[in-house]
Structure 1
Amino acid sequence: GLDYAKELDGNLIIVVNDNDMSIAENHGGLYTNLKLLRDTKGTAECNLFRAMGLDYYYVHEGNDVAALIDTFQKVKDSKKPVVVHIRTLKGKGYAPAEEHKEQWHYSGPFDIETGRSLFEGDEEDYSSVSCDYLLDKMKKDPKVVAITAGTPTVIGFTEDKRREAGKQFVDVGIAEETAVALASGIAAGGGKPVFGVYSSFVQRTFDQISQDLCINNNAATIVTFAGSVYGMNDVTHLGFQDIPMLSNIPNLVYLAPTTKEEYIAMLDWSIEQNEHPVAIKLPGGAMVSGRPVTKNFGDLNKYEVTQKGSKVALLGLGTFYSLANAVADEMKSELGIDATVINPYYITGLDEELLESLKADHSVVVTIEDGILDGGFGEKIARFYGDSDMKVLNYGLKKEFLDRYDVEEVLKDNRLDAEMIAEDVKGLL
């Protein structure tokens, strides 16, 4: 895709980094044209960029620094927009990465001699759980289709799993907009699509979710991964904005599980129902498991009181349900208060009956969410209590761009800490 665009002294230079690794290359459009240009070393008559009136330069040896410098010397003083198409080899210079491009698209710290991760483990995660569930579902129901946008392993579909799924797995390439439009169309035709996507990339397809999916009220499922302070931490891949983005689109039901079991139950309900478009925000951090689920998620906007108390009510959404429990423990030990703890589940709707009932024996309501506060879940709760005497504290993340951050520092900076929250609540009692 178009990897980089920068305006220098009024001149637009567009850099296309073409590393020939997309498994979806032959699905048409830009991918097919890039392959044609690459195969002809930039000489093909069919050239999307020249057709748009742009100057075009092709660099066949894109890992050759001297060749890159020579090309950029030629274009740096251009008076019109220029495309520089660079063919690179993914993992150039490191044999394991050259041989297994998809596996090495991203890597954490590893042993350079063996290529093995320094943090390798066999524990389950939400990607593997999603894949196992969906493959089993596909075998039982040919209407179930898994969709990704250039990141098949986000829902665990490695090459062998894709072969197993066959035509019930579709990767549209780096085109989240197409993925949502496809999911909406499949749902409209009676299919059961599940689109797995990183939270950071949801922003690319806001328009399709709103207009293609939700206006038509088609029952597709979107699963958002890494929408968390514990997710990816570079500034272009932050997963902090999905709650404000998605929770304010009409017709969409946005759910926040706290455990593996809740996630599977939500996913199963979403796939089998045909009344709502549904999104599921997976929690960050280590996967929690072992708590049974008895809730019917079709009974919309009904929160669950998991600990009944008085004076203070703690609503811990998704990732931070565990923090709400930790705050309750802190308040019990330090203040002698038995707080109410609530698992809200629903990001997009209010349990007005429950919230109203809290007025009888509570004076403070605390919301804790894993995302930017502005336009988020907590503000909806605060607005509900706006004309009452209830005091509301909202905890989440400030609206800011962070880059390569330390999670613990960010949590402390936003007072996402049991002792700090208990201290704030004490000041209101």
Structure 2
Amino acid sequence: MADLPATPLLDTVKTPDDLRTLAPEQLRQLADELRDETISAVGTTGGHLGSGLGVVELTVAIHYVFNTPHDRLVWDVGHQCYPHKILTGRRERIRTLRQGGGLSGFTKRSESEYDPFGAAHSSTSISAALGFAVANKLAGTPGKGIAVIGDGAMSAGMAYEAMNNAEQAGNRLVVILNDNDMSIAPPVGGLSAYLSRIVSSREFLGVRETLKRFAKKLPRPFQNAARKTDEFARGMTMGGTLFEELGFYYVGPIDGHNLDHLIPVLENVRDAEEGPILVHVVTKKGKGYAPAEAAADKYHGVQKFDVITGAQAKAPPGPPAYQNVFGAALAREAAHDPTICAITAAMPSGTGLDAFATNYPDRFFDVGIAEQHAVTFAAGLAAQGMRPFCAIYSTFLQRAYDQVVHDVAIQNLPVRFAIDRAGLVGADGATHAGSFDVTYLATLPNMVVMAAADEAELVHMVHTCVQHDGGPIAVRYPRGNGTGVALPETPELLEIGKGRMVREGKKVAILSLGTRLGEALKAADQLEAKGLSTSVADLRFAKPLDEALIRRLLTTHEVAVTIEEGAIGGLGAHVLTLASDEGLTDAGLKIRTMRLPDIFQDQDSPQVQYAEAGLDADHIVETVLTALRHNSAGVTAGARA
């Protein structure tokens, strides 16, 4: 481990109560030390870096001015929160970030009273902070709701839905817009900071409130004219007209790294009687760390890295990542098919679509953090004869489920869903696990659901998606690298609803969906060593099922085990339903379903997570042996018998 940075002032701050005892002139030193500690910690553990560095001064200022945790602070997106964790009693554990048994990489209610609301998906903060603010208002108790929203989260419609409803909170709600990509802000500087301080001051707001009360006594046309004059005058000098129309009092933009500007403005906002208020601060991702400032995308999320050089630890050479296999396969298909389009929700590199975007910019669409729009946009493209691929992480596709049902499945439109990060995802933990997509998609009429067992299968499935014009189709694949199999030069068109036999046996049948196939084959080797002849099938499709193959396996083997990287209600449930509907259980067939447990699993390495879930070779063998020892007939479901 590299030498720890010298942090004499930060060493005296255990909680925000300690922070508030400092003199204002000490805050600059504290922020510098907090930034050094954040860089050192993330260099040790890996994680999100650039966004946290951008809010160091803002974090210090908020906790200095507001009475947290009684004022409820919600970070959005939650990966901005590392400096916040250091200042709120968790510094001693900060080098356990994103590790098994360690701190979450996001805010988490069970972790600290300073995390009043868990956030790892974007654009939830204003709704949650509004809830806190209104609850305190109704109860007559002190305390504000403070939402810090940034890193693209304002591109999602949910943020505006909340803002449209925010007037009910009055001055209990403060929204801090962390504009860290200059997408909204005009130039900022001393004049802007001065104006922000003036218009947020008690004196200005007092005069403004007096004039508003006076205007209410005038005829309605004069009331409207007075309101528009006020908004126009401040809009000309400061901007923020959109937020004013949504019912917010707008202050900004101000330099989010200048504590001399931040502190007085936040103090005015804290004491204001008018509200809700939106404070627009401009920050720079990676601020204070040259490598991160120079490459914001590269240092958004990092592996362990050398703090001095910025060099990130490189994984040993190995098979390509599934996301890159998908991206390359889709780009090859697009070279021959001008109707193929690619859509992503703010994750072009994460979904492997970089090459597609470069080669086919007119057919690539990054819609921002707006999954609902992405799905319905894809539906419109499909309805007009295009072949859209909607590439979204499994956990984020959950946010667009109504659109999948209503705009795609009911209309039987051929939208292609590329579902990345399916299954458990390691360090990002429960909020990002792709646990539910098979369950929530395979229940839908018209939907085809595939799961790739390896990277070669993914290439075949991308080609199959392209050729399937009969309705919606989805392919799921995990985070991380493939298995190392050779990629096909010419992709194969898979028959819809047909699996493949990988190994033939007589006594035990393992029915696998997705990348647990490797563990199924290891289990088969162990069972064969015990004298138990074992079949292994890669079903490929969760919907439609290969009923003929499943029927044969269930009627010719003593024990059948299904295994999948998803929650209850997926493949296992569909196989059990088929067996029940056809009376296959009446003959005493033993079926066991192996799937993710009915819990939200915390972060750890994927290998540890799958072992804890009982989805590795040893647990498959244990499940089979236990089933064989039981003589009772019927169907039993469970990760372990």
Q: TM-score, normalised by structure 2?
A: 0.59
Tell me which residue corresponds to 1:412. 611
The 5-angstrom pairing of residues 72-83 of structure 1 reads 73-75=267-269, 81-83=276-278
Q: Deviations over 1:116-136 (max 9, x none)?
A: 320245652223223323333
Query: Once structures 1 and 2 are overlaid, which stretch shifts more, 169-178 or 69-78?
Result: 69-78
For the Cα contact (< 8 Å) 2:601–2:609, is it kept in 1? Answer: no
Question: Cα–Cα, structure 1 residues 240 and 56, in superposed 2: closer, same or farther, change >3 Å?
Answer: farther
SS state at 2:302 partner: coil
> 391, 400, 409: which one pairs with 1:196?
391
Residue 91 of structure 1 pairs with residue 286 of structure 2: yes
Question: Residues 29-428 of structure 1: matches in 2 within 5 Å?
Answer: 35-36=183-184, 38=186, 44=235, 47-58=241-252, 60-64=254-258, 73-75=267-269, 81-120=276-315, 123=318, 124-158=320-354, 162-230=357-425, 233-288=428-483, 289-290=485-486, 296-297=493-494, 299-333=495-529, 335-372=530-567, 374-386=568-580, 387=583, 388=585, 389-428=588-627
| Closer, same or farther: CA 211–71 of 1 in aligned 2, 3 Å | farther
Which position in structure 1 is the counterpart of 2:116?
none
2:147 alignment partner in structure 1? 14
Q: Find the aligned partners of 2:548 and 2:272 in 1 and give their Cα distance.
A: 64
Question: Structure 1: any 5+ residue segments left out of the alignment?
Answer: 23-29
**Higher share of residues assigned helix:** 2
CA contact (8 A) 2:426 2:605 kept: no
Q: 1:200 to 1:68 in 2, by over 3 A?
A: farther
Residue 75 of structure 1, CA deviation: 4.8
Moved more, 125-134 or 197-206: 125-134
| Greater strand content | 1
Q: Amino acid of the residue matched to residue 150 of structure 1? A: A
* Aligned 8 A contact 2:416 2:465 in 1: yes
Seen in structure 2, the aligned counterparts of structure 1 residues 64 and 309 have a Cα distance that, compared at 3 Å, is farther
CA distance in 2, matches of 1:229, 1:286: 14
| TM-aligned CA deviation for residue 258 of structure 1 | 1.1
Partner of 2:163: none
Check the 8 A contact 1:13/1:84 in 2, yes or no: no
SS in structure 2 of the partner of residue 53 of structure 1: coil
* Counterparts of 1:182 and 1:278, CA distance in 2: 16
Provide closer, same or farther for how the CA distance between residues 291 and 341 of structure 1 changes in structure 2, counting only shifts above 3 A: farther
Please state whether the residue corresponding to 1:427 is helix, strand or coil.
Answer: helix
Between stretches 79-88 and 143-152, larger displacement belongs to 79-88
Supply the distance in 1 between the matched residues of 2:364 and 2:419 (Cα, whole angstroms). 17
Q: In structure 2, what is the Cα distance between the partners aligned to 1:142 and 1:312?
A: 47
CA distance in 1, matches of 2:478, 2:572: 17
Change (3 A) 1:50 1:76: same
Contact 2:343/2:391 (CA < 8 Å) preserved in 1?
A: yes
Give the aligned residue type for 1:136: R
Counterpart Cα distance in 2 of 1:71 and 1:406: 43
Deviation at 1:336, TM superposition (A): 0.5
Question: How many residue pairs are counted as aligned between the two chains?
Answer: 416
Please tell me the residue identity of whatever aligns with 1:155.
Answer: T
Asked if the contact 2:356–2:364 (Cα under 8 Å) also holds between the matched residues in 1, the reply is: no
| Aligned partners of 1:138 and 1:168 also within 8 Å | no
Q: What amino acid is aligned across from residue 125 of structure 1 in structure 2?
A: A
User: The residue matched to 1:195 in structure 2 has which SS?
Assistant: strand
Query: Is 1:4 equivalent to 2:125 in the alignment?
Result: yes
Larger Rg: 2
Indicate the residue corresponding to 1:27 in structure 2: none
In structure 2, what residue type is equivalent to 1:378?
Answer: G
Deviations 1:316-340 (A, max 9, x none): 211101111111111111x201111
Cα distance in structure 2, aligned partners of 1:301 and 1:18: 41
In structure 2, C-alpha distance between the alignment counterparts of 1:405 and 1:72, rounded to whole Å: 38
User: Matched residues, percent identical?
Assistant: 30
Change (3 A) 1:120 1:409: closer
Q: 1:147–1:171: 8 Å Cα contact kept in structure 2?
A: yes
Amino acid at match of 1:383: T
Whole-Å Cα distance in 2 between the matches of residues 352 and 214 of structure 1? 22
| Residue equivalent to 2:224 | none
Contact 1:328/1:341 (<8 A) preserved? yes
Contact 2:326/2:462 (<8 A) preserved: no
TM-fit CA distance, 1:212 = 1.2
Query: Structure 1 residues 252 and 58, CA, compared in 2 at 3 Å: closer, same or farther?
Result: farther
Deviation at 1:256, TM superposition (A): 0.5
CA contact (8 A) 2:322 2:479 kept: no
One-letter amino acid of the structure 2 residue matched with residue 323 of structure 1 = E
Q: Residue 404 of structure 1 aligns to a residue in which SS?
A: coil
Name the residue aligned to 1:26.
none
Give the gaps of 5 or more residues in structure 2.
1-121, 138-143, 156-176, 197-233, 629-641
How many Å apart are 1:161 and its aligned residue? 5.7
SS in 1 for 2:360: helix
User: Relative to 1, partners in 2 of residues 1:100 and 1:279: Cα closer, same or farther, differing over 3 Å?
Assistant: same
* 8 Å Cα contact 1:179/1:195 also seen in 2: yes
AA in 1 matched with 2:573: E
The structure-2 alpha-carbon separation of the partners of 1:121 and 1:183, relative to structure 1 and needing over 3 Å to count, comes to farther
Distance 1:191 1:410, change over 3 A: same
CA contact (8 A) 2:439 2:569 kept: yes
Aligned 8 A contact 1:18 1:87 in 2: no
Secondary structure at 1:275 match in 2? coil
Name the SS for the 1:209 alignment partner.
Answer: helix
The answer to whether the 8 A contact 1:197-1:224 is kept is yes
- Counterpart-to-counterpart distance in 2, 1:346 and 1:78: 59
